[in-house]
Amino acid sequence: MEHHLKYPFQNHGRNHYELELVSGKLHLFANEEVLSSFEPKVFEMANNNLQIPRSVYMSYTPDAHVGVGTCIGTTAVWSMKDGCVSPSIVGSDIGCGMRVHTTPLHKRDIQDKDIRRSLIAAIEKYVPTNERTNTNYDDIDIMSVVRNGLKGLPDKYIPNEQWLTHVEQSTFAYDRAYLEQLPPKIRKHAHGQLGSLGSGNHFIEIQYLEINEEYGELAAKWGLFDGQVVVMIHSGSRSWGAMVGREHNNVIKEAMNQWGVGNPDPQLIYAPIASREGQTYLNLMYSALNFAVSNRHMIAYGVREAFKEVFGGEMELPVLYDLMHNYALKEFHRNQPLLVHRKGATRALPPGHFLNTAAYKETGHPALIPGSMGTSSYIMVGREEGLKNFYSICHGAGRARSRKATKLLVTVDQFEQSMKVGTEDEVLVNHRSLQTILDECPQAYKDVDQIIDSVVGASLAGVVAKCKPMVAIKGI
């Protein structure tokens, strides 16, 4: 095992390693197979990140891979009192995250491919999957959404109270005066995007559950059953978050030059939390979080309308949970106010934790972990031992190769085989040709089962249910 790590390290057991990098300590959670797959660049990037002053903690989850400035799969913590905020350790898609809705349907109810094709057509009718197509929610005020989150939506788009309560956070409060610093064009670009999917690795999947017997009682409390059809949604803050990031990356870069501070990686930017630049970014980041949670909500609303069209007006899709994996939030850990950055990392709180939303105070909340197209996703629950990693777990499988490399190395035939094309268990997609989404094939990602094994082995979380794909809807 030691030859996999080129730095001095402590093996804490249970898939937990503590590396002594030149600039500080990096905690790493991975089993042996995953550990051996990390490329040297991820450790170089960690060392750069650890040069940001007064770091309290930094870690990688097993899905960690190279990103811009910071690896996706990073948890990084600073004190609110004298620490820093880094847009690079939030990520470009602020508030990107996951949402799952349950249905009363069983797998056998949608086994017929014609039914699934009807669902694809209906969903695409209500949820734009083409970047050039806008939604038609003209009665929604974008500014009300970015100020108030879900509470800024008209009542007609809130099917019931559960759509507000079964979420990580429905509204992110901040000083709205900072909105005046945004250019007017941001509203124009965001108009029509609320409730749209976006491209890249964003998706809507129709899946069925395989309940883990060990967590059978908990699954029942959450309303889950074996063979149940669920809908998983992955999307973020669209152009609102992208523009907030771009505008204030430049502002902070300029401030760093004036302060005379830098980093070996020019794409890694940061500012003291207490600085004008830090406060501006944090407040506007919260506006993007409001947009992101509302965007997933409206995507789900469109999916609900589609299911009603196919299965009748009485069909309902209760919310299981909605959470983010790209953000920086003030949290209390070890009796201290800390700014916890998670870039491609999911918060998984255990039962009884005070940060749990009221609906999941007793049980702990569902932690939603997507796989890749054609592979399983997971519904997990945090464990008390997760405190050692500030309750962060993976956010998915994590890319194993770039989009360009994937297109060079993977054939459409291989992609078809992984999607079981031509069989009864084929995962249907909303594209006529898999060639158009080849860079999102399963071969582009790490083995999600090994990622989950790493998390479970580290006692950070347990698997409540495995989600097997039946339909995958991707944006272009």
Residue 4 has pLDDT above 80, yes or no: no
Q: Which CATH superfamily is domain 2-400+445-474 in?
A: tRNA-splicing ligase RtcB (3.90.1860.10)
**pLDDT, tens digit, for every residue of 9-58?**
999 999 999 999 999 999 999 999 999 999 999 999 999 999 999 999 99
Residue 144 has pLDDT above 70, yes or no: yes
Residue 251 has pLDDT above 70, yes or no: yes
**pLDDT, tens digit, for every residue of 409-457?**
999 899 989 999 999 999 999 987 899 899 898 898 989 999 999 999 9
Distance CA 355, CA 238 (A): 27
Q: Which of 65, 248, 341, 395 is catalytic?
A: 395
Which pLDDT belongs to residue 385?
A: 98
Is 342 within 8 Å of 75 (Cβ atoms)?
A: yes
Confidence bin at 1 (pLDDT 50/70/90)? very low
**pLDDT, tens digit, for every residue of 217-249?**
999 999 999 999 999 999 999 999 999 988 888
Radius of gyration of the chain (CA): 21
Which pLDDT belongs to residue 247?
A: 85
Domain boundaries along the sequence of the chain: 2-400+445-474
Residue 252 has pLDDT above 50, yes or no: yes
Question: How many percent of the chain have pLDDT more than 90?
Answer: 85
Confidence bin at 3 (pLDDT 50/70/90)? very low
What is this structure's pTM? 0.96
Which pLDDT belongs to residue 374?
A: 86
Which pLDDT belongs to residue 164?
A: 97
**pLDDT, tens digit, for every residue of 181-202?**
998 888 888 889 999 998 888 9
**pLDDT, tens digit, for every residue of 301-310?**
999 999 999 9
Residue whose C-alpha is closest to residue 370's, from 273, 246, 233, 470: 233
Q: What mean pLDDT is predicted for residues 380-406?
A: 94
Three-state SS sequence of the chain:
CHHHCCCCEEEEECCEEEEEECCEEEEEECCHHHHCCCCHHHHHHHHHHCCCCCCCEEEEEEEEECCCCCCEEEEEEEECCCCEECHHHCCCCCCCEEEEEEEEEEHHHHCCHHHHHHHHHHHHHHCCCCCCCCCCCCCCCHHHHHHHHHHHCCHHHCCCCHHHHCCCCCCCCCCHHHHHHCCCHHHHHHCCCCCCCCCCCCEEEEEEEEECHHHHHHHHHCCCCCCEEEEEEEECCHHHHHHHHHHHHHHHHHHHHHHCCCCCCCCCCCEECCCHHHHHHHHHHHHHHHHHHHHHHHHHHHHHHHHHHHHCCCCCCCEEEEEECEEEEEEEECCEEEEEEEECCEECCCCCCCCCCHHHCCCCCEEEECCCCCCCEEEEEECHHHHHHCCEECCCCCECCCHHHHHHHCCHHHHHHHCCCCCCCCCEECCCCHHHHHHHCHHHECCHHHHHHHHHHCCCEEEEEEEEEEEEEECC
Confidence bin at 133 (pLDDT 50/70/90)? confident
Burial string for 237-273 (b: 16+ CB within 10 Å, else e) reads bbbbbbbbbebbbebbbebbeeeeeebebeebbbbbb
- Tell me whether residue 395 is one of the annotated catalytic residues: yes
**pLDDT, tens digit, for every residue of 341-379?**
999 999 999 999 999 999 999 999 999 999 988 899 999
Token pair for 27: 């905690």
